[in-house]
């Protein structure tokens, strides 16, 4: 069975899409086409979208799922006339909260994902810049100001995790690649000199060698870099290093960036500087 789901907002649509995807992910047996429609902030846009929803229902032979965070009641009224199963986030949750808190909400468009407090916004930007500046061991001299330093072999997820930690939580995350340059005389990974003073900040990432080989093949096919033997050796050496120096680590093979980041925070006790958006 195939259905279409619309995530509609008069702002960025991030809240509607995040909630909608979380809910619909529970229905694995269904094929659901997801469509995000942000900035539906005029009656003209609302009517055009209502027409699209009407045409979609006719094409699919099923009413679409409509999840919205529309604030304006006129715009919401136009959308409500379109055929679909509707989940109105604000009406569902704000009314009971108003009753409990005995205060009327401001019903402001885009409040969640606007710049809001300048200090929070600027800290978010600063953290992202830090992650970019300290990607792949680029500036080891800045490690004293890092909150965490991710270590691992090439292509195990260090860079996207660093950026996600910065953007979503304001955590200053650097990352350092473990390479053959870090091998000792016996062919085992040793603690890199740049990392030694910051052992308390280290967090390791590992990955299944077969998955690593597949990822590397996309980047550099038919090379020693992507061979299964090379990947197996690097992963084994990295995990041995983590165990030797008691560096906490997780296997990223079956985890999303969101899961990796959340597990890292939980295991290290890092303080989030603000809530995810």
Flag whether 157 is marked binding.
yes
Q: Which DSSP state fits 143? A: G
Q: Is 104 helix (H, G, I), strand (E, B) or coil?
A: coil
CB atoms closer than 10 angstroms to residue 152: 27
**Unique residue bearing structure tokens 């800045």:** 142
| Contact by Cβ (8 Å): 64, 83 | yes
- For residues 250 and 26, give the distance between their C-alpha atoms in angstroms, rounded to a whole number: 25
Flag whether 159 is marked binding.
yes
| Contact by Cβ (8 Å): 113, 39 | no
Flag whether 231 is marked binding.
no
Flag whether 155 is marked binding.
yes
- For residues 60 and 57, give the distance between their C-alpha atoms in angstroms, rounded to a whole number: 5
Reported as type and span, the H/E element at residue 141 is: none
Flag whether 140 is marked binding.
no
- Pairing type for strands 85-88 and 249-251 reads unpaired
- For the CA atoms of 42, 44, 50, 52, what is the dihedral angle to 10 degrees? -120
CB atoms closer than 10 angstroms to residue 94: 15
**Phi, psi for 3 (deg, rounded to 5):** -130, 160
- For residues 38 and 35, give the distance between their C-alpha atoms in angstroms, rounded to a whole number: 10
Flag whether 103 is marked binding.
no
- Which one, of 39, 61, 59, lies nearest residue 49 by Cα? 39
Q: Is 30 helix (H, G, I), strand (E, B) or coil?
A: coil
Please give the annotated binding residues, written as ranges. Answer: 152-159
Please give the annotated binding residues for ADP, written as ranges. Answer: 152-159
């Amino acid at each position: 069975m195939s259905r279409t789901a619309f995530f509609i907002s008069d702002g960025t649509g991030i809240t509607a899409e995040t909630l909608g995807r979380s809910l619909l992910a529970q229905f694995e047996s269904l094929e659901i086409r997801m469509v995000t429609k942000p900035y539906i902030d005029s009656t003209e846009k609302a009517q055009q979208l209502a027409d699209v929803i009407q045409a979609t229902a006719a094409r699919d032979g099923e009413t679409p799922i409509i999840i919205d965070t529309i604030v304006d009641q006129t715009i919401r009224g136009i959308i409500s006339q379109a055929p679909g199963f509707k989940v109105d986030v604000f009406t569902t949750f704000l009314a009971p909260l108003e009753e409990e808190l005995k205060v009327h909400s401001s019903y402001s468009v885009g409040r969640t994902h606007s710049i809001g407090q300048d200090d929070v916004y600027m800290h978010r930007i600063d953290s992202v810049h830090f992650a970019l500046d300290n990607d792949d061991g680029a500036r080891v001299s800045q490690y004293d100001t890092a909150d965490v330093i991710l270590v691992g072999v090439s292509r195990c997820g260090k860079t996207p995790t660093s950026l996600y930690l910065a953007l979503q939580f304001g955590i200053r995350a650097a990352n350092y690649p473990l390479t053959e340059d870090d091998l000792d005389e016996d062919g085992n990974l040793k603690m890199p000199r740049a990392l030694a003073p910051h052992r308390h900040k280290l967090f390791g990432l590992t990955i299944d060698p077969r998955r690593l080989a597949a990822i590397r093949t996309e980047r550099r096919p038919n090379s020693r870099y992507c061979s299964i033997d090379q990947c197996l050796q690097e992963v084994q050496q990295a995990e041995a290093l983590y165990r030797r120096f008691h560096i906490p680590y997780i296997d990223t093979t079956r985890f999303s960036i969101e899961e990796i980041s959340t597990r890292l925070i939980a295991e290290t006790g890092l303080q989030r500087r603000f809530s995810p958006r």
